Structure 1
Amino acid sequence: MAFQGKTKRTQHQFPSPEELYLSGTLPRTTEAVDGLWLHQGDVIRAYAEQHHTTSDLALELPTGSGKTVPGLLIAEWVRQKSEGPVIFATPTKQLARQVLATARREGVPSHLLIGSHKGWDTAEQSDVEGADAIGITTYSAIFNSSPKLPEPRLIVFDDAHAGEQFVGAEYGVTIQRYKDPETYEVVLATISPFLSGLLLQRLRGEPDPGAHHQVRLLLPAVNPKVLAKLDAVLATLPEPYKFEFAMIRSGLASCCVYLSYGGIQIRPMMPPTFENRIFSRAGQRIYLSATLGSGGELERAFGRPQIVRMPLPTKTPPRSGRRLFLFPDLAAGGDALGLTKRIVGVTNKALVLSQETSAKTEAAAAAFAGDSIPVLGRDDVERGLDAFAKAPTGVLGLANRYDGLDLPGRACRIVVLGGKPDAVGLQDKFLSERAEASAALAERLRTRIVQGAGRCTRGPNDYAVVVVLGSDITRYFSRPDHREALEPELQAEVEFGWKNSRGTDPDEVIENVEMFLKHDADWRENGEPLVAEFRQDAVKVESSGADALGDAAAVEVEAWHLAFRGEWLSASEQLQEAARRVGAGGDSTRGYRGLLLYLAGVWLHLGAEDEAQRAGARQLVRKAAAASAVRGTWLREMPDLPGAEEVPLASMDVAAVGAIVARLRGQLRPNRVAGDLQKMREALAQDDSTVYEGGLTTLGSFLGAEASKPQGKGRCDSAWVWGTAIWMTIEAKSEQHPDGLLPLHDIRQANTQLDQLAADRSMDHPPAGSPAIIVSDRLTADPEHAPAANTNVYLASTETIEQIAGDISSVWSELLTSAAGLQAEQTLRQYVRSVMTEHGCLPSQVINRLTQNRIRPGG
């Protein structure tokens, strides 16, 4: 037989992806979508007309509005233009398989390139490299130490709003203590020169309940010996650490170490993606995102200085179904978990999402499942959701999977959002809990919540119940500024759900769920019109500080790239400029600005060529301390730069250390002190208000304050005074249980307490920055009452008070054991300072711990 073959491939040239779709040349199957939605056509048309050559482009397609088909059509249009290989990347393998199924359904030639490259089909790999098919892969196949994909003309990133989790986290070594305690101990020993003996002891002992010790920042580059040893130790670690380390080894000096009892993470704050040839040499990168906030989230997550945003051409985003939000923590009865189980039991089919570990999330799913109801987890859906989607019943628990799960129609009607997903990794936890830089995470957090809530509403006719479970996420939704940052449709659903959960009898909640899930005339006549009323008043407002953060993103990314290359002086200059821009956000971005200034100071020190530059570095560190003010207690844990004077204590901390030293020098009876500490902790574990108040005053005295219960009707339960430096009043509502909201009366009472204390002392006003604390296990204040609170009124839990009591007990145990042998006054002061600092018990640290939840919105 003669030679056979194909003639040269011919490609039709269409003006836009939309016309390619309408041409009928794609071999679509009978299961293909009936047609493009209006907004999908608008998006791909605008891309062809305006942005075909834009190097970095973000397309906004809200959750449930159909991102995959437009993304595939753009990818196929570019491929047919014979401009080079095209890659379509997804966060997970499961989602990659899902995209492949969609591509084949729509007639788009595609191959799956996931897992180890050794298992890829050679012919399929050649098709992708030769632009005969689109390569569908995962983010991890691109962002690794040795990617095997071809250098593409175009990369499309699906669910790009999850970039930090699937890109930034790839550039780092993460060691989880419960999985690998030996490696944790080896690395901990390596970085131990940065840690006090007290902290090492706490990290090596039993789990520490103190929330303030959750994450600590270390910068190994300031100690060249530690940096060299860390490099040597990490280089000896086995898989998977050796592959993780290969991603950052050349820039290890720029990396941060985030240390907690549960793990260690070593990474730069922003990924050096410029080193990745697949990513950086692509002709174009398109980011399909559910939301295009103005805070620079995409730039920071992908390490690109500038990403052009192309929002939906239509003013009104497409509706993605109807959600009934429920807040079990607000319902009457105080049994949020029990009510959630009853809600799940209405259908015996639910998706449970959480940022906890897979084991904990799956355990939560099991707790909500009724007898004989199947419980599924991560391993059950590794190859797809069909097993769960097609099952008549079942509860699926997934950790950190807020994206890429499509459960439309009858596949699932109930989603449980378990807790606020604000700290997926240690870097997030540090920014949120220690650096007071949550403004930098606001866009990321909001997107995770919106994405999670939309897993079961994938089209305009879908409907699902969204159960918002947990005190932290309930408090999040209580703040008007958080609600107003949502799209108006979602704002209305949240407002409707809040109103119909607060104080509602559990039986009535279940009746409402049943009515909603029937979705018949009763819902259309009694529910839908009320949601529509809330929708009329809803207006989207960008979160505070977003514009300033967005303006800083480009120079911030460039600064980290320079630092990764060791160009310290230029990196410091860029980061100083980023800090200046971030500062335009005012108080909302103050903590993040302080962090940037500190890093800029360290980098200037690392690159300093003379004493003038070293002095400039020390000045930047001082500016960081001023920017962070009382809230930046993490700065006191950082080692001084060589030549720098010891960072002076805040005046309130000086007063406390002095009071404790004087007490130690006095007629002290150790057994009496130990007994008083025990009584204090017992009192603070009770609900009885009189006993609890006495425990608070004892606690204040052990913290070095002049503590007392002011006399008179309507006065605070305990006042803590540190000279004229700062005061604190505490209203103890220990008898309140978490099944409700803080009443307006409590807020108004707290507003007056500091002024009354000033009058007692014949002063015009209390010291600046003095807080008034309401201690209660009520979740939050009613959004309608919260604006009545003064800006210095905060809500703290009884658990936080108990943690502080436990920590100050440890402080005094250390002092009673060791201080007696310290004769020199200055030596004793230094020791007291050190012990209190390590246990988070300096007044500045205690105030930081008690003022995490300001009641007044936007304050």
Structure 2
Amino acid sequence: MALELPTGTGKTLPGLVIANWIRITRTARVAYACPTQQLAQQVAKVAAREGVPAVTLVGSHSLWSTLDKAAYEAAEAVAVTTYNTIFNSNPHLAVPELLLFDDAHAGEQYVGEQYAIHIRRSKNEKAYSDLLDVVAPAIDGIPLQRLRDYTPDPGMYRSARLVIPLRQPEMVSRLDAVLAQLPAPWTFRYSMIRDVIPSCMVYVSYGSILIRPVIPPTSANPVFTQAAQRIYLSATLGDGGELERAFGRPAITRVALPSTTPTPRSGRRFFVFPELAEVTDPVELARSIVLSAGKALILAPDTNTAISTARELAQPGWPVLGIDDVEGGMEGFAALPNAVCGLAARYDGLDLPGDHCRAVVLDGKPDADNLQERFLSQNVRAGAALAERVRTRVVQGAGRCTRGPNDWAVVIVMGSDLTTYMVRPETRQNLDPELQAEIEFGIQNSRRTSEVEILDNVGTFLRQDDSWRIDAEPIITELRNGATVTPPAGSKALAAAVKDEVEACALAGMGEWKEASARANEAALKLGKGGDALRGYRSFWLYLAAVWADQAGTVTTDHTLRQSALAYRAQAEAAAKPSMWIRELAPLPSSQPQALSSASAVAVAAVAARLQSTSIPKVAALTAETLSALRERKPTVYEPALTKLGFMLGADAQKPPGSGRCDSTWCWDHQLWLAIDAKSDHEPAGLVPQKDIRQAGDQLRLLKADRQAADIPPDSATVIVSPKPAVDPTGAAGAEPHVHVIHPDGVLALAEAAARAWDALASKRAGLKESQLRELVADHFSQEGLLPEQVRDRLTANPVASR
């Protein structure tokens, strides 16, 4: 069962009371598991203070005290331990009657990583290279070349590609052979997944490779499964089955707080959004706020971001601490008069109450804790399936410096992705009313506010003087009273599907491919009831159903199963639209070569014809001029380059006539249209205004009139190009679903890919027949992500409309 004990209620003491009561009344062994050794030490201190007999069993079992181990096994004391003491290849903890998990909402991070092999290129180039060689046959030529280059490609660094070894000739055995040769600590992780290697996914980026099953096979762990009872203590139980996915359990009974329970107060937070303010440098504003607070905790999704931001926000001479400095506890940081501490993915379990720290910086949206999350979020667009864990990380991170009802701290929100996420009304509506009010108050006092005003407000807040109590608190109270909590979109369908997801992965791990496919399809059917919010995640499970059905057909020589696999794959691709992630994967062995779509055929024919009529020097001039112009902010330079880019992409590209029109339209016959509305001269701060969003909503209808078309082609879109970090929430609420926003860097990356393709094709076209040139164009454009549907996919990752 899972018990909801929100931040501010003090989960440790109730957890210890339950643990000790079970130990005494049943004369039972009880283990209390924490995510990290640092948290285990904190729990042990609370147990000692409250008189609960407890022993700490963490780290290597060979170093455990014999007396402590004996006290636990004799049920004379509660064993305080860590997740990885339980979830490892050879757990030495005697099976408990009760196994209690603290901070269970962080389970995906601390359980999933035990069933995964993560190879960082920077730390083990040979292992990375060996694994890349194994999966290379499933990756297209140009992306593979970039992965192998010594010079990092920014796009490959930020992205993640999926490889499924199961349906590639001999790839499973080759993968297993390479993993078996890895030294410690990977040896232990390999032991965890050795029996389920055929069902594992491989995620590849320039910086690392991750091998793991979709859901960890925890049922094979004796300490976990043989415990008579498992209790999960969570700050938020969620509505979408996140606990089940994290711990690999098909069902967990939830005991939520009664509706009559008062919302616990965990102190007051003043949110500041530097990128919404009227400032020239958001980082400098954040730095000034940290100076006012005296110190700050910086939390980011990755170590590089955490440390680089910490260094940027520190004053000269201030210590900059990292994970190695605080692994044993936060006391050293808390004792310093001035300091910053940058930590990666540590949104839970850090207690900095009172004057220990009055500022926390959240830098970057925590939706890519690992490559599987990155792939699901960016490629599959399954954000709704990840929403619960992202929301929990943000909430937990924001509360690290407010540990009691009378505490207070500034929360600085940095990064355009996190800023955009938090200003969206649908994000805030899922939070408790108090936090909704604090964030809304922060947005109101950051938007179009000068640096002087913000720093003055921060000073008033940090002093907690009468001005704050008289002027600010009544507004927050009013906002809280008017707030309502709305369940996330698709949460019921996610909860309904989780049992089938867990069982499908367990069956795949046992090689029961036919049954695994059926369960995956059943999960997809239930996810379908979640509507558009779960389309991407549904496509992922349909594709797994296809892979496993194809494997079952091969093993059993059942042709009907292989036909089912093709049907599942077709359903997956339909559900994924407009995303094209499935077409980037290696085809199933039973698949026929896929023909170009109508829009892609139009683009390929146009590009081939344009290349034939353009000399190599003119191609070089065109690509250079286009790239140069798209690096500018001046509209008179930037906007014409959009039409040149559309020309290079094989579209009928032009600047539409008349006032109030977008800056370029790209039309691939009547198959797909894109309207590009450039706001390159926007300042990189604040919000895309409502008037720009409203104007964008008309562009496809106006284009339809221009072309005298009966209708607008399906999946057509309007794209606002702006460097601003977020859009006006009022505009987002009324935006049409075809309107999207992208940073100019995204358009530039598209142009760079088009320039590479044109330069390469120009040098290879000599002596080719028209059909051969078209085939070459199709191949290069597909691998560079330049076919019309791929272009739409690249430009429409961020819809403006609230969902």
Which TM-score band (shorter chain)? over 0.9
The aligned residue for residue 128 of structure 2 is 184
Structure 1 residue 388 displacement after superposition? 1.3
Residues 740 and 211 of structure 1, relative CA distance in 2, 3 Å threshold: farther
The within-5 A match list for 1:126-275 is 126-205=70-149, 206-210=151-155, 214-275=159-220
Cα shift readout 1:176-233 (whole Å, capped 9, x = no counterpart): 1111111101110111111233222111112112369711111001024111111111
How many percent identity over aligned positions?
A: 49
Cα distance, 1:92–1:821 mapped onto 2, change above 3 Å: farther
Equivalent of 1:604 in 524, 549, 559: 549
1:654 is aligned to 2:614:
no
1:726-781 C-alpha deviation (Å, 9 max, x unpaired) = 11111111111112211222122211111111111112432122101111111222
Equivalent residues in 2 for 1:624-639 (5 A)?
Answer: 624-631=572-579, 633-639=580-586
Which residue matches 1:788? Answer: 734
Per the alignment, residue 3 of structure 1 pairs with none
Q: Aligned partners of 1:227, 1:828: CA distance in 2, in Å?
A: 36
2:410 corresponds in structure 1 to 465
TM-score scaled by length of structure 2: 0.98
Distance 1:472 1:212 in 2: 17
Any conservation in 1 of the 2:718–2:740 contact (CA below 8 Å)? yes
Match of 2:22 among 78, 81, 99: 78
Task: Render the CA deviation track for 1:644-701: whole Å, top value 9, x for unaligned.
Answer: 222333322222122122333x333111111100000001011111111111001011
Larger Rg: 1
Which amino acid is 1:554 matched to?
A: K
Aligned mates of 2:572, 2:773 — CA distance in 1: 28
Q: Which residue does the alignment assign to 1:61?
A: 5
The aligned residue for residue 422 of structure 2 is 477
Q: Tell me the equivalent position of 1:719.
A: 665
Farther-moved stretch of structure 1 (387-396 vs 86-95): 387-396
Distance 1:545 1:484, change over 3 A: same
Match of 1:750? 696
Contact 1:640–1:647 under 8 Å retained in 2: no
For the residue of structure 2 that corresponds to 1:291, the secondary structure is coil
Question: CA offsets per residue over residues 324-377 of structure 1, 9 Å max, x none?
Answer: 1110111112311000000000122111110122x4412321221112222211
SS in 2 for 1:207: coil
Stretch moving more, 645-654 or 219-228:
645-654
Structure 1 counterpart of 2:186, which letter?
A: Y
Partner of 2:651: 705
**Is the contact between residue 657 and residue 704 of structure 1 (CA under 8 Å) also seen in structure 2?**
yes
Aligned to 1:778: 724
| Aligned-partner Cα distance in 1 for 2:297–2:415 | 16
Local SS of the residue matching 1:785: helix
> Tell me, what secondary structure is at the counterpart of 1:123?
helix
Q: Distance in 2 between matches of 1:834 and 1:103?
A: 64
Runs of 4+ deviating beyond 3 Å: 819-824, 827-830
- Which secondary structure state, in structure 2, belongs to the residue aligned with residue 286 of structure 1? strand
8 Å CA contact 2:279–2:285 kept in 1: the answer is: no
1:54-453 aligned within 5 A: 57-205=1-149, 206-210=151-155, 214-313=159-258, 314-357=260-303, 359-453=304-398
How far does residue 832 in structure 1 lie from its aligned partner after superposition?
A: 2.0
Task: Specify whether residues 334 and 543 from structure 1 end up closer, same or farther in structure 2 by C-alpha distance, changes over 3 A only.
Answer: farther
Q: Is the 8 A contact 1:389 1:412 kept in 2?
A: yes
Q: 2:762 aligns with which of 816, 830, 834?
A: 816
Give the superposition deviation at 1:83.
Answer: 4.2
Structure-1 separation of matches of 2:144 and 2:587: 19
Instruction: Give the AA of the match of 2:606.
Output: A
* Residue 259 of structure 1, CA deviation: 0.6
1:527 aligns with 2:489: no
1:217 and 1:654 map into 2 onto residues whose CA distance is: 26
CA contact (8 A) 2:306 2:344 kept: yes
Q: Distance in 2 between matches of 1:392 and 1:823?
A: 74
Q: Distance in 1 between matches of 2:669 and 2:157?
A: 25
State the TM-score, normalized to the length of structure 1: 0.91
| Structure 2 Cα separation of the partners of residues 428 and 83 of structure 1 | 42
Q: What CA distance in whole angstroms lies between the structure 2 residues aligned with 1:600 and 1:213?
A: 28
In the alignment, what sits opposite 2:637? 691
Number of aligned residues: 798
Contact preservation (8 Å) 2:302, 2:345: yes
Q: Give the deviation of 1:821 after TM superposition.
A: 5.1
Q: CA RMSD in A?
A: 1.3
Q: Distance in 2 between matches of 1:687 and 1:668?
A: 28
**Contact 2:115–2:192 (CA<8 Å) still a contact in 1?**
yes
Query: Is the alpha carbon distance of 1:660 and 1:468 closer, same or farther for their aligned partners in structure 2, counting shifts above 3 Å?
Result: same
Match of 2:680 among 734, 745, 763: 734
Q: Partner of 1:278: helix, strand, or coil?
A: helix
What is the distance in 2 between the residues matched to 1:831 and 1:152?
63
Residue 212 of structure 1 contacts residue 434 of structure 1 at CA under 8 Å; is this kept in 2? Answer: no
Q: Distance in 1 between matches of 2:139 and 2:518?
A: 29
Matched-pair contact (CA < 8 Å) for 1:175–1:184? yes
Contact 1:65–1:458 (Cα < 8 Å) also in 2: no
Cα drift, residue 460 of structure 1:
1.1
Q: Give the equivalent residue in structure 2 for 1:25.
A: none
Residue 837 in 1 paired to residue 785 in 2? no
Any conservation in 1 of the 2:157–2:205 contact (CA below 8 Å)? no
> More displaced, 735-744 or 415-424?
735-744
Q: Decide whether the 8 Å contact of 2:384 with 2:489 is kept in 1.
A: yes
2:167, 2:589 within 8 Å by CA — same for their partners in 1?
no
1:41 is matched with none
Instruction: Select the residue among 712, 717, 733 that pairs with 1:766.
Output: 712
Q: Is the Cα contact below 8 Å between 2:141 and 2:783 reproduced in 1?
A: no
Aligned to 1:737, what secondary structure does the other structure show? coil
CA contact (8 A) 2:139 2:586 kept: no
Residue 788 of structure 1: how far off its partner (Å):
2.9
- Measured in 1, the distance between the counterparts of 2:305 and 2:563 equals 49
- Partners in 2 of 1:67 and 1:653 — Cα distance? 56
| Separation in structure 2 between the aligned mates of residue 436 and residue 719 of structure 1, nearest angstrom | 25
AA at the equivalent of 2:570: R
Q: Match of 1:616?
A: 564
Tell me whether 1:543 sits opposite 2:488 in the alignment. yes
732-741 vs 449-458, which moves further: 732-741
Structure 2 counterpart of 1:663? 610
Query: Hey, what's the Cα distance between the residues in 2 that align with 1:828 and 1:275?
Result: 54
Inter-partner Cα distance in structure 2 for 1:540 and 1:465: 24
User: In the alignment, residue 799 of structure 2 is paired with which amino acid?
Assistant: R
> Which range is displaced more, 713-722 or 648-657?
648-657
CA contact (8 A) 1:210 1:807 kept: no
Equivalent residue letter for 1:795? V
Contact 2:333 2:339 in 1 (8 A): yes
